A and B are shown apart, each in its own frame.
Chain A
Amino acid sequence: MAQPILEMRSITKRFPGVLALSDVNLAVARGEIHAICGENGAGKSTLMKVLSGVHPHGTYEGEIVYEGQPVEFTNIRQSEAAGIVIIHQELALIPDLSIAENIFLGNETATRGVINWDEANSRAIELMARVGLRENPLTAVKNLGIGKQQLVEIAKALSKEVKLLILDEPTAALNDEDSNHLLDLLKGLQGKGITSIMISHKLNEIARISDSITILRDGKTIETLDVTAGGVDEDRIIRGMVGRSLEHRFPDHTPQIGDVLLEVRDWSVMHPMDHNRVVIDRASLSVRRGEIVGIAGLMGAGRTELARSVFGRSYGSKHHGTITLGGKELRLKSVHDAIKAGIAYVSEDRKGLGLNLLDDVKTSISSAGLDRLRKGLTVDEREEVLVAERYRRSFGIKAPTVTTGVRQLSGGNQQKVVLGKWLYTEPQLLILDEPTRGIDVGAKFEIYGIIQTLAREGKGVLVISSELPELLGLCDRIYTLAEGVITHEFKRGDATQESLMRYMTADAR
């Protein structure tokens, strides 16, 4: 291996209740394209945040050696000054500013605070030429396609004298042509001595472009593959990504599956802003009473979008297709309609969409089912306390009383509050989006138990999860979703982590 430009040694990063990175090692050789692979939550982004100083020195354990020197970045400015630039999946461009203004944002060519626009624009043209972007530097970024915006980001990185370029899912939102252009550009930059680290779920691209691949799983380094030596294909990468021991334990459960409850047919959804961008493409799926059905898909596959569009069209535009619940076709126009029809959706974004953090436990639990507590003009507060107390006890919510603020609870207990909130609406169908994200193992086990109880009560449960062992352990059937298309349907026992991953990364369109 050539002399490494970067070595990260024994990096360990803890968040409250979660060990995000555990003794991770990464060595990147000068001038190579190094890919980092792993499932959602494997720790890829956290590792890059440690490197770039978003998680400052002192909040993690371990050592970073860059260009032969130990470095201790405490913010992004310091890492950028050293030539490490990270381009996030969500582009950090300001839509109404011009290309040139965006390229030099925070790094303006100014004398005593006054910007020299002539110089800025001519340097912008130079940088744009290096990334193959032929546009007027005065064009507003919002008028560019997403592929060209990505190029602006790279030009911006080049303006900072980048030596090590980190790209987080650079091609996730791009079409084939733009992706190819971007990958060619990375190859070209490599020729000019720029080292790249690329995080990607698109394994075919990784196999094609990278020189070496480091695989992370559950916050640990699994292995580093040398692609130039040959013999590394998509199957080999998948094996590294999913070869997880089944450390998850599941409560005993005998499924009692009844007749069809939910039937979604040819369901298509467009992006809420861009009415021509297909997010969900003719998806069909079904859930039976008493059945736990999983949806496996990588980030950006459209899992949440699918669930929310079914849940009273709370996502997307131009919905097409039919939804039948209990044999009756539903025409849901709002979340309220969906709740009334007997659908509940537990969001992956607990703090953003699930809870009002100003509330206490009882008002959180009653917040979606207030109609059931209506007594004349008022909310029946006595009944409210009793109901909340029931869930607190039954789910083992660790809160001293139901008047405890939900902000004070741990993630697992907050999730139980959210589950109680949705169960109180008496749903027939529960959609659980990442029900155990950011929750410790003990609470996970309890939540699996609650989910299985619901199935035994005859409800239909649709579980979306990034953790394949969770889906394999919990679900009676699993659909795989890739790029908004349902690519396969597995029965319990037929699916393995490898086979799921193959269909999750399939080229669906």
Chain B
Amino acid sequence: MSSLTTILRGNIRQYGMIIALAAIVILFQFTTDGVLLKPLNVSNLVVQNAHILILAIGMVIVIVARHIDLSVGSVAAFVGAVGAILMTKHDVPWFLAVILCLALGALIGAWHGFWVAYVGIPAFIVTLASMLLFRGLTLVVLEGATVGSLPQGFKDIGNGFLPEIGPDTDLHNLTLLLGVLVVALLVFFDFRKRAASKRYNFEVLPFGLFVLKQVVLGAVILEFSYLLADARGLPIVGLILFALIGIYTFIMSRTVFGRHVYAIGGNVDAATMSGVNTKRVDFLVMTNMGLLAGLAGLVTTARLTAANPKAGVNFELDAIAASFIGGAAVTGGVGTVIGAIIGGLVMGVLNNGMSLNSIGIDWQQAIKGLVLLAAVAFDVWNKKRTAGTGGAGETEPTPPPPDELVEEMAHLEAEPPGVR
């Protein structure tokens, strides 16, 4: 039992946000008489929030690297505007326009990265300047008007759904299939990870709880895919989003680059003295944010079927709020992609639920503000409470590793240097 409390305590922010999300969903499910989780509404939730979640992925990485990007709303608007102009005024094929626009987003991100990493201007200033700059340039490009009549292929990015395959079952087969596949993969990887952790004698969830976690997680994902399949199937933008979540979770948790991002966020001086090229990491993090801002701009333009000078206003604030609600630390070094997604979903469900309850946009804003403050306050309070409990293992001798590990170490090809 003690191990359970330590595990919970260590991840209280993540679990807390999942519980908060579940509570909000249940609350609105009641107050809206079940409309919240109607298939069509769930489908809308995905389509309407995808752009913020895409931005939140980039933003949490920027925040982990101890920076911020205030420009993403303006950059999204600008890239969307350029895309619309390319497709309508210059007859560029839509897929080529998409590629050019993504490159443009990355280029803008690189521009930020240059000033932040190599000149040393705080990202707050650089991206504040870009927030103004690209809002202005959006107006210039669009000449102040809304540009519509975009090709259907492009609009599908924002509004389309995966094609139907297989026999007619009243449900969207491909969506269900993907749902089952995702559950199978998650359970497989989690089992493998648990087995490895056990072998290394690391703390793991008790088996009963572990199974419960798999069952709950699997049920949620299957129910989610069922609801989508009952509506119109998985939106294309949903597929893009889930792919990005997978890719960026992998980058941040498994690659050398991800390690370097956490290292410079945790202690930039120690990272420098460990040989990390901190400038390059900063540069790439900002560049990546530009790329994702460009993508979010395309998605928004496609969903609204037009580029409009006012698009993307306040996107940056939603993305930043999602990151912090999802557990990122203002001081850097802490935060996960999944956390930011959960934070973004909390905001998205709040918006949607309050709208269904006909709460006006005025109160929606106010309540979201308080939720952000409460989430971070909870984190600060929790940190203070657990601070000073250090010294674990101080009095205990070094425990031996379990036998399996000893055996494995014996097979380790070369001794690490300096080991006696």
Contact = CB atoms under 8 A, between A and B. Distances in A.
Interface stretch (A86-94, A288-296, A349-357): A349-357
Contact of B259 (A367, A393, A404): A367
Contact of A401 (B202, B397, B408): B202
A363 interface: yes
B418 A335 contact: no
A267 interface: no
Interface in A360-410: 363, 367-368, 370-371, 373-374, 377-379, 381-383, 385-387, 389-394, 396-404, 407-410
Q: What band does the interface of chain B fall in when counting residues whose beta carbon is under 8 Å from A?
A: 35 or more
Nearest to A389: B401
Contacts of A358: 262, 266-267, 333-334
Contacts of A353: 269-270, 273
Interface string B374-401: 0000000000000000111110111111
Contacts of B196: 382
B185 interface: no
A398 B399 CA distance: 8
Contacts of A336: 275-277
Given A356-B266, A390-B416, A397-B398, A403 B202 contact: yes
Interface in A104-138: none
Contacts of B275: 312, 334-336, 338-339, 368, 425
Interface string B112-147: 000000000000000000000000000000000000
A353 B267 CA distance: 8
B416 A391 contact: yes
A345 interface: yes
Interface residues of A, number: 64
A314 interface: yes
A24 interface: no
Interface stretch (A38-46, A320-328, A449-457): A449-457
B314 interface: no
Given A335-B275, A363-B259, A392-B398, A356 B270 contact: yes
Which of the listed residues B262, B334, B396, B401 has the most CB atoms from chain A within 10 Å of its own CB? Answer: B401
A102 interface: no
Interface in B91-122: none
Contacts of A421: 274
Nearest to B277: A336
B418 to A, nearest CB: 3
B211 interface: no
A377 B260 CA distance: 14
B362 interface: no
A272 to B, nearest CB: 13
A52 B152 CA distance: 76
Contacts of A419: 418
A362 B415 CA distance: 16
Nearest to A335: B275
B416 to A, nearest CB: 5
B197 to A, nearest CB: 8
Nearest to A421: B274
Contacts of A356: 262-263, 266-267, 270-271, 333
B392 A394 contact: no
B269 A401 contact: no
A423 B196 CA distance: 26
> Chain B contact residues: over half helix, strand or loop, or mixed?
loop
Nearest to B394: A410
Contact of A370 (B200, B256, B416): B256
Given A358-B266, A379-B256, A401-B201, A367 B274 contact: yes
Nearest to A456: B420
A61 interface: no
A370 B418 contact: no
A403 to B, nearest CB: 5
A347 B269 CA distance: 11
Interface string A206-250: 000000000000000000000000000000000000000000000
Contacts of A368: 274-275
B394 A398 contact: yes
Contacts of A377: 254-255
A72 interface: no
Interface string B193-227: 00010001111000000000000000000000000
Interface in A32-80: none
A224 B267 CA distance: 44
B405 A389 contact: yes
A75 B104 CA distance: 57
Nearest to B257: A377
B370 interface: no
B393 A404 contact: yes
A424 interface: yes
A205 interface: no
A435 interface: no
Contact of A450 (B262, B274, B277, B418): B418
Interface in B285-336: 333-334
Given A334-B277, A399-B393, A400-B396, A354 B418 contact: no
Nearest to A312: B275
A484 interface: no
A426 interface: yes
A378 B277 CA distance: 18
B180 interface: no
Interface string B19-46: 0000000000000000000000000000
Given A379-B255, A390-B419, A398 B396 contact: yes
Interface string B404-416: 0100110010011
A398 B398 contact: yes
Nearest to A454: B418
A420 interface: yes
B272 interface: yes
A405 B379 CA distance: 18
A359 interface: yes
Contacts of B263: 356, 359, 367
Contacts of A409: 393-394
Contacts of B408: 386
Nearest to B251: A377
A314 B271 CA distance: 12
B392 A404 contact: yes
B200 A385 contact: yes
A392 B200 CA distance: 13
Nearest to B401: A389
A493 B344 CA distance: 68
Given A334-B277, A367-B274, A368-B274, A387 B416 contact: yes
Given A336-B275, A454-B418, A355 B267 contact: yes
A355 B391 CA distance: 17
Interface in A410-425: 410, 419-421, 423-425
B417 interface: yes
Nearest to B260: A370
A281 B412 CA distance: 47
Contacts of A402: 200
A265 B269 CA distance: 28
A335 B420 CA distance: 27
Interface in A289-316: 312, 314
A406 B282 CA distance: 25
Nearest to B10: A405
Contact of B273 (A314, A387, A390, A427): A314
A396 B334 CA distance: 29
A-B CB proximity, top 8 nearest: A423-B418, A356-B266, A368-B274, A336-B275, A358-B266, A356-B267, A408-B390, A378-B254
12 contacts: A354-B273, A355-B270, A356-B262, A358-B334, A389-B200, A394-B419, A399-B392, A402-B200, A408-B393, A410-B394, A426-B417, A453-B418
Given A314-B272, A399-B393, 19 more contacts: A335-B272, A335-B275, A353-B269, A356-B267, A358-B333, A359-B266, A367-B263, A368-B275, A378-B254, A379-B259, A386-B405, A391-B419, A398-B398, A408-B393, A408-B394, A420-B418, A423-B419, A450-B420, A453-B418
